Amino acid sequence: MNRLTKKNISRVCQHTMFWIISIGVFAFIFRLSETANKLDVIYSLLFHFSIILAVYGNFWGLKRWFVQEKYLTYAMFTLINIALTLTLNQYTFNVLVDVILPDYYFVSQFNNIETAIITLGFLTITSTIKLSKSWFTLQAIRQQTVEKEKEKIDSELQSLRAEINPHFLFNSLNVLYSLILKNAPSTPEVLLELSDILRYVIYDSTQDKVWISSEVLLLEKYLHLQSYRIEEEAIINFRSEVLQDAEVAPLIFLTLLENSFKHGIKNDIAQVFIDINIQSDQEGILFEIENNKPPTQQKFDQKAG
């Protein structure tokens, strides 16, 4: 038995139970003695005949007009639905009952106004239940969609981190290697700075979100580290203004910066440069980066709210 079949069976059982309870309650209300008997149940069934049709007709109207926000059309349909219910109710007790139950004599205990109020009550209750179930179903679907999208993004970020770590590590080791060959006095300082960066890349970046101020500090350390392996002619401009700290996905800016070094600074062309601008305030996050690639691939502009 598939999931759809189980769902349909469950829906039928729920509807059946609702009407059984309703018929039982009205049979108790209609009773002529202290306890409800067979005649009371039959009368309750006859009274429910027109109301049941009205309720399921209303479900059709909800789907066709109310959900589509055509409220005036739905209101007109509801008035017609109630009017037809009153007509059918009178027909049931005045004509139909004599045909199907000739040995019994039943008359409606309610006038048209009372029947209309009861019908409207049923329509209101069942509509509320129907719309509530639809709302909860929609929320569940949205939640599943959000979770799947989050899993997809997390998977992409994990893949990105796995790609960044070895690439970044090899570049950093090349910097250290060149400094050691030159017996540069700044080697211990660079080694300590590299240690801080690697700690962030390997451990802190496993979090779902990090503060943008931490990402800015990472970029500053990365730029300082890269300054030992680029030509003096290369121009690096870095501007940051964090007026309001915010949470972002880790390493998202470092990826773009690494690409700028890879496709810009390392190219054998004149006037190599990288311009980085990052801002964070109440309106959101702005990250701009530009290097010496051709204009068609020159600038990346990302805004996040």
Over residues 66-117, the pLDDT tens digits come to 888 888 998 999 999 999 999 998 888 878 877 777 776 666 667 888 889 9
Question: Looking at residue 169, what is its pLDDT?
Answer: 67
- Of 59-63, 136-140, 280-284, the least confident: 136-140
Q: How far apart are CA 18 and CA 21, in angstroms?
A: 5
Question: Looking at residue 299, what is its pLDDT?
Answer: 41
Instruction: Evaluate if residue 300 carries a pLDDT over 50.
Output: no
Confidence class for position 283, pLDDT limits 50, 70, 90: confident
Question: Looking at residue 302, what is its pLDDT?
Answer: 42
Can you give the length of the chain in residues? 305
Strands 210-211 and 247-248: antiparallel
The pTM of the full predicted model, rounded to 2 decimals, is 0.46
- State mean pLDDT over 141-147: 79
Q: What is the spatial order of strands in the sheet that 299-304 belongs to?
A: 235-242, 273-281, 284-291, 299-304
Question: Looking at residue 83, what is its pLDDT?
Answer: 92
Instruction: Evaluate if residue 301 carries a pLDDT over 50.
Output: no
Beta-ladder partners of 238 = 276
Burial degree of 39 (CB within 10 A; 0-12, 13-18, 19+): middle
- ∠ CA 95-99-104, nearest 5°, is 90
Question: Looking at residue 4, what is its pLDDT?
Answer: 61
Instruction: Evaluate if residue 129 carries a pLDDT over 90.
Output: no
Q: How far apart are CA 265 and CA 268, in angstroms?
A: 8
- State mean pLDDT over 36-48: 82
Question: Looking at residue 303, what is its pLDDT?
Answer: 44
Question: Looking at residue 295, what is its pLDDT?
Answer: 52
- State mean pLDDT over 129-142: 79
